[in-house]
Structure 1
Amino acid sequence: MFDTKTLQITALVVFLVILFLSYFVGGFVAARMARFSGLKQGLAVWLWGLVMSIIAAVVIVVVASQNHTATVFQGSGAGLKLSDFTSVEALVSEGLIVVLSLGGALVGGLAGLGYHRKIDRFGLESV
């Protein structure tokens, strides 16, 4: 019905939209909790996400390198090669993931500042 390339692109677009919205909400909430540093809070959300992703990747590599798990992965044909991550399509996808996650966190952080700016401008009685 659909070819593989179309399904891959559709899945990537859906994933990127969800990723952007997730980081936007994270940056927004962090900025709402902080008073005047929405951009810094958005950046901190992105950095924490990056750190957690690295930790998860290391744990997955360690678990997959264990003897009993490696045979399961090799038997299912799920082995990954470096060329899987360095093709043009993969590099573009990885770049989009970095740019959209960082952009979402920063834009969310800036959007979260709006609440405090309203309060500071009008006072608590008029909000």
Structure 2
Amino acid sequence: MAQDHTAGASTPKGRRNDVVNAQKEKFGGIKFGSAFFGWLTAIGMTVILSALATAIGVGVGAANSTDAGEAANQATQNAETVGIVSGIVLALILFLAYYCGGYVAGRMARFDGVKQGLAVWLWGIIIAIVVAILAAIAGDQFNVLSRIGGAPSIPVDGSLLSASGLIALAIAVLVPLIGAILGGKAGMHFHRKVDQAGIDHQAGLTS
């Protein structure tokens, strides 16, 4: 049986691919359990990075302002710039957080890193929808995602219909998806390096 998997593989990488394909056929596919833990990682990183960004912003503002009234005037004059910078920071936070989440899912599942990253993103979307429905029925106090800085959530007050709301939704949907997929691929790639080390060791013993 082992000879069937290595037939025609003349290089260590080729032998590794044969072994991986056999393993993937049996253990591949989306692992929603791994993806859930990846989503938890993404949410945790979102909270940490958002708090860090807020602390840095407060520190920079305090260092650059000597008068509260002057600071308020500058904030009013530069509102558009502040909004753009905030959007960029939010996108970066979501990308890094979901990259970490996808990486965790890819490492746990071993195979199909893109699918694991997609599953992490789907967990975020599903939970955001469930929370939004609960908030619409029982009250906005149940919209727990709105209390997590930067966490993707679906507003229930109609603000989504504005241009800024649509942009925010695009950031909250697309950026985590890209980050989670890239993270999932990176997490899976770690296992391919481990597999290759095993094949190289085996080839060294049998050569």
Answer whether TM exceeds 0.5 for this pair: yes
Specify the TM-score bucket, using the shorter chain as the normaliser.
Answer: 0.7 to 0.9
1:46 aligns with 2:121: yes
Q: Percent identity?
A: 41
Alignment of 1:82-101 (within 5 A): 82=158, 84-101=159-176
Structure-1 residue corresponding to 2:181: 106
Rounded Cα–Cα distance in structure 2 between residues aligned with 1:65 and 1:110: 37
Higher RCO (CA < 8 A, seq sep 6+): 1
Structure-1 residue corresponding to 2:84: 9
Structure-2 residue corresponding to 1:34: 109
Structure-2-length-normalised TM-score: 0.48
Letter in 2 for 1:87: S
Letter in 2 for 1:50: I
- Tell me which stretches of 4 or more aligned residues in structure 1 moved more than 3 Å: none
The total of aligned residue pairs comes to 112
Distance change (3 Å), C-alpha of 1:65 and 1:97: closer
Structure-1-length-normalised TM-score: 0.75
Say if 2:110 and 2:187, in contact at 8 Å, map to a contact too: no
Bigger radius of gyration: 2
Segments of 5+ residues of structure 1 without an aligned counterpart are 67-78
Segments of 5+ residues of structure 2 without an aligned counterpart are 1-73, 142-155, 202-207
